[in-house]
A and B are shown apart, each in its own frame.
Chain A
Amino acid sequence: MRNVSIIGVGLHPWGKFPQNTFVELGVQAVANALQDANIKWQEIQAIASGIYIWGGNAGHISGQYLAAVFGETGIPIINVYNACATGAAALRTAYMSVASGQVDVALAVGVDISPEGFLSAKSDNPRQDRDVLRWRMVGMPNPAFWALECRKRMHKYGTTAEDLARVKVILSQYGVLNPNARYRKAYTLEQVLNSPMVNDPLRLFEICATSDGAAAIIVCAADKAAQYTSQPVNIAACTMGSAIYGDPTIRISALSAPAKAEAPMLSESYSASQQAYRIAGIGPEDVDVLELPDNSSWHYLQYLETCGFCGEGQAEQMVREGQTQIGGKVAVCPSGGFSSFGEAIGAQAVWQVVEAVTQLRGQCGPRQVKNAKVAMAQTYGLMGNSATTILTV
């Protein structure tokens, strides 16, 4: 396997763009990445692309739709789907194409458009689609699953309403500073605690919205990266994980979970991050910047433990002490997180890596983490999908 570097990144800002197509959003992100890498479209030798479920058949072949706009060149285009980890699957596929030696330069794209409000079931066969059951029989949107786990955590470790609200306060102060964020308003603890209850104990400001957005990354064989950029970012690990038997987490879509734990919670993310630490030879203690999937305040706390940034039940204390803020032990989501961006499902895993790259290049202005050398992007998706990318400079 060859070493692989990131030579270009590009985004379409996050928001709601009902007048636009996924192709339009994706084209802007790719054009920005090409410009950032100072590379011509014709030099891209492979593409991996993915979106979530609202593109119809066109969405299943999103890479072909995007390539048509820039001009078709006959290269391999692979379209991927791994729920909220779709973008990570695109990045890993591009990464593997280069690491294997098959091509020197590859493009990963994640795009998304989504309707307003709750996501819901897209088929009607309960025997093959768990989504049908959870919607029809229990009326369970995603935040209900997060709230059930959050309540367990509160019961077990004494997590308070203030602990949950504090996460939003921290993330919102970074979102204000990020020009690509959808929500750019700083909140006080009191404002978060006064936001409407959605799924008790989780309030409106403590869960993420659904957004539209697009992100693109160009990867290159490390020994050829200098041809394009003076600031290549090394991919130290790019892994994916799935769930492990006996994981007690109530997983989105499922109606049941084992009562007795035989595997860690969020085992898909435990698996992806442990693989990444082993491959990179880097541990959580070395990470300066962590982009984690803050779908809710519960995720922010739980992921610190799942990925080994603190011991079990210690995340709240870490947050109270300011150890997860810029200047603390590890800067967690200095991008503003999903809390400030919202989930653009197919795009967010690529976006997390783009944010990490921008930090390692020192281009984040007032939310820059000083002297950042190691960054990690942790992704999480429905039905046991996860990915971890560790980057170094």
Chain B
Amino acid sequence: MDKQKIAGDKVPALPDLFQGEAGGVRLRSARCGTCGTCFFPEYHEQHRPGCSREGVEKILLNRIGKLASYTVQHYMPPPPFRTEKDITPYPIGMVEFPEGIQVVGIMVDYKEDDLVLGREVETTTFTLYRDDKGQEIVTWAFRPKAH
């Protein structure tokens, strides 16, 4: 089985950024075993000055984080952003994970009063478009945590 595939026929628009787990979708990050710096994506390495950069290990971020900020975007960005239809207005959230990192992503399945800083959100996917084979091409996304 193609390990890049996540639940169902969904295919990430770009590889190595997130994966489906039994417990849900999780972002792929990495942490330096020496300086403790956590970075995303796992291939954009960052370290504390002077770090020997030894012992970097790949980790999966917690599925749940807290909304640290958000913006509601009122127009469609140009290519290479691609969606099936105009999705505006759509929120982009900045989510703080317990691993000590904040990550941005599109927000889905929300009501207006869910857009409150500090609110718990969970990682999920958002279908950008379907390719020629009918496969759903997805990115990671955040939605309010089910109560």
Does A147 lie within 8 Å of B71, measured CB to CB? yes
- Give residues 106-140 of B contacting A (CB, 8 Å): 106, 117, 139-140
A201 to B70, CA, bound (A): 9
Chain A minimum-CB-distance residue to B140: A137
User: Which residues of chain A from 100 to 150 have a CB within 8 Å of any chain B CB?
Assistant: 117-118, 120-121, 124, 126-127, 130, 132-141, 144, 147-150
The answer to whether the Cβ of B23 comes within 8 Å of any Cβ in the partner chain is no
- Cβ of B8 < 8 Å from any Cβ of A? no
CA–CA, A144 and B92, complex, Å:
8
Q: Knowing A135-B81, A138-B92, A245-B49 are in contact, say whether A198-B101 is a contact too (CB < 8 A).
A: no
Q: Provide the main secondary structure of the chain A interface.
A: mixed
Q: A197 touching B80 by the CB < 8 A rule?
A: no
Count, chain B residues at interface, CB 8 A: 43
Closest approach, in angstroms, between the C-beta of A202 and any C-beta of chain B?
8
A255 near B41: Cβ-Cβ < 8 Å: yes
Nearest Cβ on chain A to B84's Cβ, whole angstroms: 13
Q: Please encode chain B, from 62 to 84, with 1 for each CB lying within 8 Å of some chain A CB and 0 for all others.
A: 00000011111111111111110
In whole angstroms, how far apart are the Cα atoms of A195 and B100 in the complex? Answer: 37
Q: How far is the CA of A260 from the CA of B36 in the complex (A)?
A: 12
Residue interface mask B91-106, A partner, CB < 8 A = 1? 0101011001111111
Measured between alpha carbons, how far is A198 from B75 in the docked complex, in Å?
Answer: 7
A137 to B38, CA, bound (A): 20
Give the residues in chain A near B17, CB-CB below 8 Å: 133, 137
CA distance in complex: A197, B97 (Å): 29
Asked whether, in the complex, the Cβ of A133 is within 8 Å of the Cβ of B14, the reply is yes
B74 touches A124 (CB 8 A): no
Please tell me if the beta carbons of A259 and B96 are within 8 angstroms of each other in the complex: yes
| C-alpha gap A124/B72 in the complex (Å) | 26
Is A177 located at the chain interface by the 8 A CB criterion?
no
| Beta-carbon contact of B139 and A138 below 8 Å | yes
Q: How far is the CA of A135 from the CA of B81 in the complex (A)?
A: 5
B14 contacts A258, CB within 8 Å? Answer: no
Contact (Cβ within 8 A) A126 B92: no
Option from A126, A133, A250 in Cβ contact (under 8 Å) with B102:
A250
Picked from A141, A150, A248, A257, the residue with its CB within 8 Å of the CB of B77 is A141
